[in-house]
Amino acid sequence: MAEHQADSEPRTDFSSTVSGQMQNRVLVVTIDNPPVNAISAEVRSGLMAALAHLAQTPDATAMVLTGAGRTFIGGADIREFGKPPVDPILPTVIAALEASDKPVIAALNGAALGGGLEVAMACHRRIAVRTASLGLPEVKLGIVPGAGGTQMLPRLVCAIPALGMIASGKPVPSAEALTIGLVDDVSGSELIGDAIDMALCPNSISPRRTSQLALPAFDTATYETEVQKILKKARGERAPAEVVRLVRLAMEVPFAEGLAEERATFLRLRDSEEAAALRHVFFAERSAGKVDGLEATPLTLATIGIAGTGLMGCGIAVATLAAGYDVIALDQTVEAAEKGRDRIAGLLAQSVKSGRLAQADADAQLSRLTVTATITDMAPADLVIEAVFDDLDGKIDLFRRLDDVLRPDAILATNTSYLDPDTIAAATAFPTRVVGLHFFSPAHIMRLVEVVRCAKSTDTALATALAFARKIRKLPVVTGVCEGFIGNRIFSAYRSEAERLIEEGALPQDIDRAMEDYGFPMGLFAVYDMAGLEIAWARRKRQAATRDPLAPYFEIPDRLCEAGRFGAKSGRGWYVYPDGKRSVDPDVTAMIEAYRLEKGLTARLIDDAEIIQRLLAAMAREGDALLAEGIAARPGDIDIVLVNGYGFPARKGGPMFAASR
């Protein structure tokens, strides 16, 4: 790398977010628009001014474009979507970058996403730091790239990887970007110096314009197989099918024509309900876990205790080990604890097998795990998460024993789904350190965690639980204490309304079909069958003595269990499963009809539209109640719980968003 003087040169501001400085006759332009350098109107006008300056400055032989902070450019400014466009629009900037007579090098200091990657692809060369990621995640927002992404990427990397990247929205790391030809080099340590070297290198003297590159050859049969996979996976989403069409255009029509069609498609999708819903989910996910007035500093955690090494405890352990913590996992006997270790090792081995984890990392993670059946071994834990059987006395007993072992400032979290965490906290020596961390199964995969703020939880306990959840790459949503917290309470309302629909004349398969057509991956009754009906049956039997005899009670689930129909595992539940495939069972229909007759209920025809409307309204009503009671802080929190934990289709935005439209 050549020596590059810099700081003595004056800085030129091209806008409030874009500035430039000469270094070795190269104009180094930096975008500084925190938090992610989104290409707002200010950035766009700054880039146009920088290009004009480049053209008019004889001393400047080339330009290097980079970002301040950890991101190159996080994409178009999503907050501008839905507002009137402000000139210069991004395609104008992209065209100007590409047309520059002097070489422009993109120096990717971090993520280049969406419009950010389009800017990079319009530059004449690209160099990235090792930690950068490059992608076109627009489909995740229900749109397609709108500034040339679908036409440039196939020309740079060939149609097959381009199609995969754009249709999945998944970014690739720099190393892979280098292999497929998306970047020209990966910088060792001195990105700007390396980019300047690249700019001054004779190879870069004539700008290489992406729009003029010939499409690399590829195997059409493989390509068509990829197309079929994408269309099958799209499940009613519009954007992936449009991506397929636009990438095909990149092969079939001149660049300008493909570009125009891409832009028209982008604008059409951007203004769609689906895109509005996905934007809502995007921002709701980023607001979740933010608590008004919570200023406490989270405690530093190094060692996490996990009590219970069943499926849930092991899933939590895997997520916790992956984030770099030491884990002490406790079970009742040495044999059970050893079984827990085997289960954790098995989950890690699965990740290695699927290519998600390197063997060396799996080994390192496992070396940070201790399993034990001796509760005093939990003493070093800074946070203990209990994931034992959902039984109040058992949990209280465990927490009391932990009280004798842990430091007073250690945090205690319960993973209960239905028990009252305030009752558990009240039975301990320090109720202020108790919170809930309600994980969803399988806990090493599901992102959602409900963080339960108990009546006496301190701000420090809450802040620590939130920071921990984020550190283990989960999506935390804060909930107050109530039966079922946010998710299961809404789900209960959904279930009750579905049961009413059955009493009125709908059949389980009608309800499941309607909700699957709406976008749920699986209808309610199919979900019950998959989960198994017997655990809820046992709970209902335990609660029978205390149930209000006058409250409405839907008896069909009990009757199914009494008939030995425990769900898919037993081959029969709400459906039958000959050869494992779900089919409607006339016996269940007969059971429902007999039940209606017995109760004097008259069945009527209920169409899919009514089913959907009634079920969504029931969820939204319960959501309103959660907000009124202060259990949930924002409608968006409820939406992301349902989207991330219960299969509510993201493209509908969640029950509260759907109700607001």
By annotation, the residues acting in catalysis are 118, 138
Nearest approach in angstroms of CB 644 to ligand 3H9 is 15
Q: Which region among 140-148, 213-221, 234-242, 414-422 touches ligand 3H9 (by CB under 6 A)?
A: 140-148
Chain position carrying tokens 């340590």: 189
The residue (of 145 and 313) whose beta carbon lies closer to ligand 3H9 is 145
Could you tell me whether strands 411-414 and 434-439 are parallel, antiparallel, or unpaired per DSSP bridges? parallel
- Residues pairing with 438 in the sheet: 450
Question: Among residues 284 and 384, whose Cβ is nearest to ligand 3H9?
Answer: 284
> Is residue 147 a contact point for ligand 3H9 (CB under 6 A)?
yes
Taking the least distance from each CB to ligand 3H9, the nearer of 323 and 419 is: 323
**Cβ neighbours of residue 458 under 8 Å, at least 6 residues apart?**
296, 432, 433
Q: Do the strands 448-452 and 172-173 form a parallel or antiparallel pair, or are they unpaired?
A: unpaired
90 binds ligand 3H9 (CB under 6 A): yes
Q: Is 113 in the site for ligand 3H9 (CB under 6 A)?
A: yes
**Residues forming a β-bridge with 30:** 19, 66
Of 280, 127, 255, nearest in space to 191 by CA: 127
In degrees rounded to 5, what are phi and psi of residue 452? Answer: -95, 120
Please give the C-alpha separations between residue 420 and each of 385, 386, 410, 528, 537, in angstroms, as whole numbers.
16, 14, 21, 24, 20
Q: Which of 46, 114, 523, 653 binds ligand 3H9 (CB under 6 A)?
A: 114
Report the C-alpha gap between 66 and 28 in whole angstroms.
8
115 binding ligand 3H9? (CB under 6 A): yes
- Does residue 306 come out as left (phi exceeding 0), alpha (psi in the -120 to 50 range) or beta? beta
Closer residue to ligand 3H9 in complex, CB, 284/490: 284
Question: Which residue lies nearer to ligand 3H9 by CB, 115 or 649?
Answer: 115
Which residue in the block uniquely carries the two structure tokens 């961390």? 437
Token pair 């030491």 is at which residue?
326
Q: Is there a contact between 512 and 529 (Cβ–Cβ < 8 Å)? A: no
Residues 280-319 that bind ligand 3H9 (CB under 6 A): 283, 286
Say whether residue 162 binds ligand 3H9 (CB under 6 A): no
Per CB under 6 A, 146 contacts ligand 3H9: yes
119 counts as binding ligand 3H9 under rule CB under 6 A = no
What SS3 class is residue 297? coil
Subset of 54-83 contacting ligand 3H9 (CB under 6 A): 71, 74-79
221 Cβ contact partners less than 8 Å away, ≥ 6 residues apart = none
CB of 144 to ligand 3H9, least distance (A): 8
- Return d(Cα 52, Cα 54) in angstroms, integer: 5
Q: Does position 425 bind ligand 3H9 by CB under 6 A?
A: no
Classified as helix, coil or strand, 346 is helix
Q: For ligand 3H9, what does the binding mask look like between residues 254 and 283, x meaning CB under 6 A?
A: -----------------------------x
Q: Please count the residues of this chain forming the interface with ligand 3H9, following the rule CB under 6 A.
A: 25
Whole-angstrom Cα distance, residue 461 to residue 432? 8
Least distance between ligand 3H9 and beta carbon 116 (Å): 7
Rounded distance, CA 418 to CA 391, Å?
9
The rounded distance, in Å, linking the Cα atoms of 92 and 95 is: 5
Ranges within 16-55 binding ligand 3H9 (CB under 6 A): 35-36, 38
| Among positions 100, 121, 138, 288, the unique one binding ligand 3H9 when judged by CB under 6 A | 138
In whole angstroms, how close is the CB of 35 to ligand 3H9 at the nearest point?
4
Rg over alpha carbons for the chain, rounded to the nearest Å, is: 28
Q: Given the complex with ligand 3H9, which of 112 and 337 has the nearer CB atom? A: 112
Is 145 among the residues that bind ligand 3H9 (CB under 6 A)?
yes
Give the nearest distance from C-beta 169 to ligand 3H9 in angstroms: 8
CA angle 608, 614, 616 (to 5 degrees): 100
Q: Which stretch binds ligand 3H9 (CB under 6 A): 134-142, 247-255, 604-612, 632-640?
A: 134-142
**Residue 285 or 497: which CB sits closer to ligand 3H9?**
285
Shortest distance, CB of residue 514 to ligand 3H9, whole angstroms? 31
CA–CA separation, 493 and 453 (whole Å)? 22
Dist. CA 448–CA 180, nearest whole Å? 34
Which residue's CB is nearer to ligand 3H9, number 38 or number 244?
Answer: 38
Binding segment toward ligand 3H9, per CB under 6 A, in 136-144, 154-162, 338-346, 568-576: 136-144
Work out the angle at residue 56's Cα, subtended by the Cα atoms of residues 50 and 59, and round it to the nearest 5 degrees.
95
Q: Is 111 in the site for ligand 3H9 (CB under 6 A)?
A: yes
330 near ligand 3H9 (CB under 6 A): no
Positions in the binding site for ligand 3H9 (CB under 6 A): 35-36, 38, 71, 74-79, 90, 111, 113-115, 118, 137-138, 141, 145-147, 149, 283, 286
